[in-house]
Amino acid sequence: MSETPAPPPRSRLALWLPLVLFAGLFALFVHGLLRPADTNVVSAFVGNPLPAFDLPAATPARPGLATAAFRTGKPKLLNIFASWCVPCAAEAPQLDTLARAGVEIDGVAIHDRPDDLARFLATNGNPYAAIGRDDMRKVQLAIGSSGVPETFVIDGHGVIRYQHIGDIRPDDVPMLLDRLKSAGVQ
């Protein structure tokens, strides 16, 4: 049997390229699988003054909410919530802690009915100074909030300083107090 002639020498790069490509893609996919994408939509509106709004009262127990309420010189929390939202009930004790620490909390109730809201507040407590009724998410869309609950730190001039997405956990409370304090200094 005669020996076949040796094939022409191919460049080393062409030989190793597929393996290098495979290793690169493999690393990329493993990285993607181990660290799933963050699905929170962060507001791009932080740092801007609150847009003008004037919401009617969501419950007879509290007044409605207008932009003017945030120009008192004192930083406040703006809590976007709803009685039908389960994590909103979960964060109620933390809002209560914040209110007892002297923080003024104003609420915006999304797609809510007065009787549902009254029941929610009776069950979970009412830490709000005012609750505006937002049946069309006008205010929520205007500040770049994409769900409930979300909590915004507003400084004394009505400028949005910080956005907290999701329910406030007990270990978020000191962080929010810090944010409020630094919003008050500015």
Partner 1 sequence: MRAVILALLVLFAPLPLLAQENAPPAPYAYRQLPDPDQEARAKALMVTLRCVMCQSQSIADSDAPIAGDMRSEVRTRIARGEDPEAIRQWLIARYGDYVTYTPQVKPITWPLFAAPLVFLGLAGVLLRGRFVRARTAERAEDRA
Task: Give dist(CA 80, CA 160) in Å, integer.
Answer: 14
H or E segment and range at residue 117: helix 114-124
Q: Which stretch binds partner 1 (CB under 8 A): 17-25, 87-95, 136-144, 167-175?
A: 136-144
104 or 134, CB closer to partner 1? Answer: 134
42 forms part of the interface with partner 1 (CB under 8 A): yes
Q: Which of 50, 65, 69, 82 binds partner 1 (CB under 8 A)?
A: 82
Residue 185 makes contact with partner 1 by CB under 8 A: no
128, 42 contact by CB (below 8 A): no
- How large is the angle between the packed helices 173-185 and 92-100, nearest 10 degrees? 40
Among 49, 87, 93, 147, binds partner 1 (CB under 8 A): 147
Cβ proximity of 124 and 92 under 8 Å: yes
Q: Which residues bind partner 1 (CB under 8 A)?
A: 39, 41-45, 82, 84, 111-113, 116, 135-138, 140-144, 146-147
